[in-house]
Amino acid sequence: MIVDEKGIKDSWKEYMEKLMNVENEWDHGISVTVKEEPADCIRIDEVVAALKKMKRHKAPGLSGLVEETIQTTGDIGTQWILDLCNGIVKEGCIPEDWQSSMVLPIYKGKGIQWCVDLTEELNCWTGSSKTEFGSRLIYTVSQN
């Protein structure tokens, strides 16, 4: 049984690394066409559609910005995020904050939440990745 703080942190780290770094098999059947010209700008209607499509009440990424923030500011917030995203597309450089995510342990809702055997306890949890709002928005726009 692990009772010291360092041992518990190390166990969580090992568990999450295993959980989040599992290689999935795939057939490499993806084909892409390379576009040599400048990227198209994102249109306001694409941002509006993406905002409507995105789930509400999600935990924020590292910046603390959530969908509801942009949605409640109306046209001003939508234009601001459009300008920001188009600047990223034009420059071809994603902000460093948007390249990171944090992984949080989430209780699965089954099994023993706290128990003596740490291995058994860890199997009752899963990792949830919290990605930055802007990254999710650009991804959602690109999927339409």
16, two tokens? 């999450």
The answer to whether residue 64 sits within a structural domain is yes
The answer to whether residue 123 sits within a structural domain is yes
pLDDT at 112: 56
- Tell me the average pLDDT of the chain: 78
pLDDT band at 136 (very low <50, low <70, confident <90, very high): confident
pLDDT at 83: 94
Q: Which domain holds residue 87?
A: 41-143
141, two tokens? 């726009």
What stretches of the chain adopt beta strand conformation (E)? 101-107, 125-131
The answer to whether residue 48 sits within a structural domain is yes
The answer to whether residue 45 sits within a structural domain is yes
Q: Which residue has the tokens 């959980």?
A: 19
pLDDT band at 28 (very low <50, low <70, confident <90, very high): confident
Bridge partners of residue 102, in order along the sequence: 130
59 compared with 34, residue with greater pLDDT:
59
Query: Is 70 exceeded by the pLDDT of residue 32?
Result: no
Q: Is the distance from CB of 47 to CB of 87 less than 8 angstroms? A: no
The answer to whether residue 31 sits within a structural domain is no
The answer to whether residue 21 sits within a structural domain is no
The answer to whether residue 25 sits within a structural domain is no
* pLDDT tens digits for range 41-90: 899 999 999 988 888 888 777 788 888 888 888 899 999 999 998 998 88
For the chain, how many residues are written?
144
33, two tokens? 């066409």
The CA distance from 49 to 32, in Å, is 25
Number of domains in the chain: 1
